[in-house]
Amino acid sequence: MTATPPPEPPGLPEPTGTPPRPPGTVPDPEVLPVLADSVRLDGDTVLILDRRCFPFDLRWVRCGTVEEVARAIEDMVTQSSGPYFAALGAMVLAARAAHHHRDPAAARADLTAAGARIIAARATNNHLATAVRAVVTEVDRAGTPTGSALVEAALTGARAGDRRYRDRSRALGEHTAALLPDGASVLTHCWADLYLVDTVAALGRHGKRVRYYCTETRPYLQGARLTAETLAEMGVDTTLITDGMGASVIATGQITHLVTAADRVTMDGHVINKVGTLQLATAAHAYAVPFLAQVQAPDPAAPTAADVPIEHRDGTEVLHTLGRRTASSRVRGHYPAFDITPPRFVRTVVTDRGPFDPAHLADYHDDTRPDPAPAPDEEATP
């Protein structure tokens, strides 16, 4: 894996583009933002757009091995939906590396080891396990082949996993847009990736005006750099606020809805997302602003919040922003990457199958519902 550290703030060029839209404009549903296609499988390489320096620098990180993909995920080269697509590519790389085995069991063992390394890269979000399973399931369906047949089966699984994720994200976006009225003023936190893109595109298709407020989301500034730029690309009236302003903006009546992605939602309705979500959810609850949490599906392998490991990152990351130290060497940092919002603060969990009350998430997996439930291998964490 080759990459250079993110640039420091001074001298960063301003991204070019259209000027901000007036408040309440309708998004352009035809715009495909840069970050909607930021992980690519290119032969024997997984290319990942480095989100640590976006939008000021469009820099691609080339990963030629499973280990390099795992390190890119750990090092925050990509986040949110990005690791899912990177994991699909990594499993194809693993199949290419194992194709020389004549023994199917040895090839399968290599895939298992590769999948375990990828899943361990970031354990809180179950996207990685879902991506690994998409590829491994197709390999097993093909009879655990070897040689070129192994690589082809892995490619088939990765392509199907890519298509399925995007289809479900579009459905989730449609369901979310249906809950937002014309003229909604949305507060969001961190970076919802394709959930955000597909929600905004759906609002545009339905002719609904919207404005967004984004928290900057320290220490990596995903909200300032990823969310705000993507919204602006799509023609949304976008306002950036600091992480400490959320409750104040809600209290002054500027927000009609709080909408965030969820890294995971437990079956009893707890929402696990980027740290800082809890404080926004409690403020929204206090001022009767509905909180809509987006996730493709609640996780049946996580009955309660106690079943979800919360990643704690190196505290020194809190002491830096964009490569520059922002606190004295005499202090320490503390960085739980995610927090847990209890269901009493969540109005609705929006999935690819529609909205659910947090108290009734078991209904998502009810096979008697009109829409078919996702295949079991898509949602259960190993």
Closest CA to 223 of 64, 51, 91: 51
Point out the catalytic residue in the list 110, 263, 299, 352: 263
Distances from the Cα of 213 to the Cαs of 99, 227, 244, 264, 321, in angstroms? 49, 10, 13, 23, 21
Q: Is the dihedral of CA 11, 233, 33, 281 positive or negative?
A: positive
- Known catalytic membership, residue 263: yes
Active site residues: 263
